[in-house]
Amino acid sequence: MVDAPDVQRHEPAARYTDPIRKYIVIYVCILALAAFQFVIAYSHVDTAAMFARMLFVPLAEAGLALMFFMHLWAEKRGFLLFVVIFTGFVMLAMQYGWTDSYRMELGAPYSQPKSGVVQQ
Amino acid sequence: MSQADLTMEGHAAGLTTGIPPFSIPAKKMAIWLFIIADAATFAACLVAYGFLRNGAPNWPRPFHSITNVVLMTFILLTSSLTMLFGVRAAKASDIGAAFRWTIITAVGGVIFALLHIREWLALIGEGMTLFHNPWGTGLFGSSFFCITGLHLLHVTGGVIALLAVGVRFKGGRYNADDLEVTGLYWHFVDLVWMFVVPFVYLLNLAH
């Protein structure tokens, strides 16, 4: 018989022993970012610029929540990379349809029939 | 013993070392996988919403006041902090404090849900339904109710889970790891709201 290797007790990396003050600072930062969103909403910028800002601010909020509230930062680096890369890839892969959305708005290139050509 | 038997036994022993992937307990790994899948679900909803908003020429901007959404955001963000305090207390074996913080978190979730329902009723009162509204394309109602409804469903499920896990933790049937797993779910619900607010509410403010 081959003996099983020694089983080591692996404690989870996230231990929730950080001082409360750290969590309150993160909470205040997230609140400030959320408040900044509401300020952006009333600023006079075009929709594209507003959209970019509206995307950046929640990404920063989500990053703080993920890393410190959900303790992803304290987990193994391999797990952090797995979550970030896998989720990011899936979400980026969803963006393939935007060109079609603009086609709905603007009309596809060469979508208009040429003069003298009878459409079937 | 043949070489093949040794190989098989060695393989089996490797599978039973008890060391989980990434040194993360199975329950925590399961909730992380659920969170990744659920994040993809919400992302798909928001991308579809963006697709429709971009393509529809008469997209309405019906929101005149942000008071309600500010209050809802504040409550949900604060409930995330109280959840963190609850898990921290549970890890420190302070059962009473962990239970209290968990119940406070659940109460925050209930208040959020009530404010959400009040907002829905106000919009329905103004004539907005799933397929029709008085301001523009009917797609707005369907996308708004679907995204916020899915989030509200998650909040409701979270409140039920918090109450169930909190009570069982106090009774000694669940441990701190179970509360931590529930807390991860609750933080995720909060995280999704961070994206729903700017895209669904703030980009549709009536100026």
Adjacent-strand bridge partners of B205: B63
Alpha-carbon distance B203 to nearest alpha carbon in chain A (angstroms)? 7
Alpha-carbon distance A58 to nearest alpha carbon in chain B (angstroms)? 6
* CB nearest B191 (choices: A10, A42, A66): A66
Q: Which of B85, B110, B113, B114 is nearest to B100 (CA)?
A: B85
Check whether residue A25 and residue A59 sit in a common domain. Answer: yes
Residue in chain B closest to A8 (alpha carbons) equals B19
Query: Which residues make Cβ contacts (< 8 Å) with residue A88, sequence separation at least 6?
Result: none
Q: Which of B85, B87, B76 is nearest to B188 (CA)?
A: B76
Does residue A101 lie within any of the structural domains?
yes
Residue pLDDT, tens place only, B122-145? 999 999 999 989 998 889 999 999
Does residue A118 lie within any of the structural domains?
no
Q: Is B69 within 8 Å of B197 (Cβ atoms)?
A: yes
CATH 3.65.10.10 for the B24-204 domain, yes or no:
no
Tell me which residue range forms the domain holding A96: 76-106
Contacts B78 to A, Cβ<8 Å:
27
Does B109 have pLDDT greater than 90?
A: yes
Check whether residue A60 and residue A85 sit in a common domain. Answer: no
The verdict on pTM exceeding 0.95 is no
Residue pLDDT, tens place only, A73-110? 988 899 999 999 999 998 888 888 777 777 766 665 54
Does residue A4 lie within any of the structural domains?
no
Q: Which of A67, A65, A89 is nearest to A14 (CA)?
A: A67
Cα–Cα distance measured from residue A14 to residue B39, given in angstroms and rounded to the nearest whole number: 22
How high is the ipTM of this complex?
Answer: 0.86
Q: Which of B194, B71, B58, B200 is nearest to B123 (CA)?
A: B200
- At B88, the pLDDT band (50, 70, 90 cuts) reads very high
Q: Which of A12, A4, A85, A40 is nearest to B199 (CA)?
A: A40
Which residue ranges make up each domain of chain B? 24-204
User: Exposure of B197 by Cβ count < 10 A (0-12 exposed, 13-18 middle, 19+ buried)?
Assistant: buried
* CB nearest B25 (choices: A12, A70, A87): A12
Does residue A70 lie within any of the structural domains?
yes
Calculate mean pLDDT across residues B159-182: 96
* CB nearest B198 (choices: A27, A58, A100): A58
- At B23, the pLDDT band (50, 70, 90 cuts) reads confident
Does residue A2 lie within any of the structural domains?
no
Does residue A63 lie within any of the structural domains?
yes
In total, how many domains does chain A have? 2
Instruction: Kindly report the number of other CB atoms within 10 A of residue B117's CB atom.
Output: 11
- Verify whether the Cβ–Cβ distance B197 to A83 is below 8 Å: no
Check whether residue A69 and residue A102 sit in a common domain. Answer: no
Residue pLDDT, tens place only, B37-86? 999 999 999 999 988 888 787 889 989 888 999 999 999 999 999 999 99
Q: Is A62 within 8 Å of A70 (Cβ atoms)?
A: no
Adjacent-strand bridge partners of B63: B205
B131 close contact with A: CB closer than 8 A: no
Check whether residue A45 and residue A66 sit in a common domain. Answer: yes
A80 close contact with B: CB closer than 8 A: no
Write the DSSP symbol of residue B135. Answer: S
